[in-house]
Amino acid sequence: MSTEMPRRSKLRSLWTEANSFQKVAAVLGVILLLAAIFAPLIAPFDPLKQSLISRLRPPIGFERYKEGFLLGSDELGRDVLTRTLFGLQLTLLLAVIGACIGLMIGGFLGMLAGLRRGFTEDVIMAGVDLQIAIPFTLIALLILSVFGTSLTVMICVLGTAGWEQYARIVRAEVRKLTSLPFIEAAKASGAAPFYIARRHVLPNIISPLVVQFTLSLSNIVILESTLSFLGLGVQPPTATLGSMVGYGRDYMPSAPWVVIAPALAILLLTYVVQILGDWLRDHVDVRLRDR
């Protein structure tokens, strides 16, 4: 009871302090997350089931609406709502995995560069500069064209997107923190570098990492959608939001609902991630909490 009450009071105060945009984003985030998790239970049809006699049927409320296809059907007679739910699930999963991989790679290399300095720092930052100099979309296109478009390759591509931003942020924060008196005192007391990094450095760099994670998450959603739009992402018949927009663009003049649903899901997902990331940043930053 003693631990549950403070948690409830913290959640209550967190919700009370939030503005209208943050509350709307929180509600939308819960809805999108639950929709992605429970897509197999919510979806009214099999996402791969085709019915050519039901192709390009409009959503409910329009003529030629077919019962059950609430958001209409696509060019192969598949339910748009079902495929949007499963596409949201896969797109969100790929984005989270990719962002986590980028965070681990970039965070580790940035911490190593900030603590070790010298030759190690020069090599790591040279890799960062090289990654920044070349547009990552071109790198992704090259990797996918050489190694194929399997799900494993796609995860690896998305995981290497944005690691250099984590590395730059962590390195800069570590260099700034290591010059402060409490870090110098920890070094003087004989604390190991790993202990200093875990105990003193990490709590003070959570805030910029949270912001970068949310930026990376939304960027990976856009990157995955772009690659799928170009036909180099997850291959059909598996649904992702980007592939639905890509394959549905030819039918926009006559059947815009094929594109509207997945495009709106991408828009809402990136909006929610950005707003909630900024909101979370204000509450995990140890420097802001003490003010």
Domains in the chain with CATH codes:
92-284 (1.10.3720.10)
Contact predicate 203/197, CB 8 Å: no
Task: Convert 123-159 to b/e letters by CB count within 10 Å (16 or more is b).
Answer: ebbeebeebeeeebeeebbebbeeeebeeeebeebbb
Contact predicate 241/255, CB 8 Å: no
Give the predicted TM-score (pTM) of the model.
Answer: 0.82
For the chain, first and last CA: distance in Å? Answer: 29
Quick one: pLDDT at residue 81?
A: 93
Between CA 70 and CA 182 the distance in angstroms is: 60
Between CA 223 and CA 207 the distance in angstroms is: 24
Backbone angles phi, psi at 79, to 5 degrees: -70, 125
CA distances in angstroms from 102 to 203, 221, 252, listed in the order given: 19, 14, 35
pLDDT tens digit string along 121-178?
889 999 999 888 888 888 888 888 888 878 888 888 888 888 888 999 888 888 887 7
Task: For the chain, give the percent of residues with pLDDT over 90.
Answer: 21
Contact predicate 226/249, CB 8 Å: no
Quick one: pLDDT at residue 284?
A: 59
Structure tokens at 161: 């997107």
User: What does the pLDDT profile of the chain (291 residues) look like in tens digits?
Assistant: 444 545 566 666 667 777 788 888 889 999 999 999 999 999 989 998 888 898 899 998 888 888 889 999 998 999 999 999 999 999 899 989 999 999 999 988 988 888 777 888 889 999 999 888 888 888 888 888 888 878 888 888 888 888 888 999 888 888 887 777 777 777 777 767 677 777 777 777 887 888 888 888 888 888 888 888 787 878 888 888 888 888 888 888 888 999 999 999 999 998 898 888 777 766 655 454 544
